[in-house]
Amino acid sequence: MPSLTPLPALIDNYMWMLSDASGGKALVVDPGEAAPVLDALDELGLELSAILVTHHHPDHIGGIGRLLEEHPRTQVCAPVDGRIPIAHRRVAEGDVVEFDAPAARFTVMEVPGHTRTHIAYCGGGMLFCGDTLFSLGCGRIFEGTPSQLLASLDRLAALPGDTRVCCGHEYTLANAAFAEQVEPANDALQARMRQARALRQAGNPTLPSSIAEERAANPFLRIDALPAREGQPKENRVARFAALRAAKDAFRA
């Protein structure tokens, strides 16, 4: 069974490494910085076999060039987007990417909203969702529309509850502060906040979370459970989601 490791990078990014010590190979998701990946590979004596990219932002692709210099046989899989200059394979909705070592098989999901070409990789009980879904939050809408991002989140929320959510940033506590304002009586949220504080105080990541945890505590997956804000009809899910995302954009803890 491959090992899953979050690699901290830049200010608050996580790059995800899936590795197989017996096979001597590893793959990495969204390498915004090369050095932490190279250090981890050297420490474990592994060769990089693949890079999976979710979207074009520099903090998710900035390390690819150097990683390929050090590990030139690495295969890069990325969405169909010319802003990602290096890719050996362009993937889209329903495509499958599969590797022998580390043994892994992922189905590609198109999840636009944060960016127009954002994708996620799902398989083996893991979801690499970049900046579409966060622990207790979701990505800002830079290129897409509220309708697109809500549809993307609905798709992710429908995955099995035990799916591990491997997102791109350590935002749990910051997102929790907003979520508590939205739904202060949510017991699942309060439990998640206590867990996250303990993990961070111990110097550990709060990730991965699970789809079940997110369905229970993430306000952006709970549009239908939240009370309608003033002026937002209960039946207009998109308008209520857009208002919630705008409130988060303006929120200061």
**From 56, 71, 114, 118, active-site residue:** 114
**From 30, 59, 71, 118, active-site residue:** 59
Q: Catalytic: 71? A: no
Q: Catalytic: 88? A: no
Q: Catalytic: 55? A: yes
Angle between helices 172-182 and 187-201 (to 10 degrees): 160
Q: Put the strands of the sheet holding 119-123 in their side by side order.
A: 96-99, 104-110, 119-123, 126-130, 164-167, 209-210
CA torsion angle 191 194 196 199 (round to 10): -130
**From 20, 30, 60, 71, active-site residue:** 60
CA 103 – CA 167 distance, rounded (Å): 21
Task: Tell me which DSSP letter residue 169 carries.
Answer: B
**From 56, 57, 71, 118, active-site residue:** 57
**From 56, 71, 118, 169, active-site residue:** 169
Q: Catalytic: 131? A: yes
What does the block give as tokens for 34?
């090369």
Contact 176, 246 (CB under 8 A): no
Q: Catalytic: 114? A: yes
**From 30, 71, 118, 131, active-site residue:** 131
Task: Give the bridge partners for 25, in sequence order.
Answer: 20, 47
**From 55, 56, 71, 118, active-site residue:** 55
Q: Catalytic: 60? A: yes
Q: Catalytic: 56? A: no
Contact 248, 137 (CB under 8 A): yes
Catalytic residue annotation: 55, 57, 59-60, 114, 131, 169
